Amino acid sequence: MYIQNRSPHAILGEKTPEEVFTKKKPAVDHMRIFDTPVYVHVRKEKRAKLEPSGKKGIFVGYSDCSKAYLVYILG
């Protein structure tokens, strides 16, 4: 629903539902392409001295309760 509410619809005259409701264009610059490879930073407190500072994962979506991305960490 998050993406659908920020996508233009023909029935609304190529406006987004959020734009019709709030009278201003929604920000979409934070959106990313699904199923793309990403790297997640691992804080110093969560890793040992010689472990890598990042982990490889796949972007799978957006969090419902905060401004965060959902990432599936590989292996």
Taking only the tens place, the pLDDT of each residue in 5-61 is 888 889 989 899 989 999 888 888 878 888 999 999 999 999 999 999 999 999 999
- Residue 26: how many CA atoms within 13 Å on its side-chain side? 18
| pLDDT for the residue 70 | 93
pTM for the model stands at 0.61
Instruction: List helix spans (H) across the chain.
Output: 17-22
Phi-psi region at 15: left, alpha or beta (left = phi > 0; alpha = psi -120 to 50): beta
Domains of the chain, by residue range, sit at 1-29, 32-75
Partners of 9 in beta bridges: 15
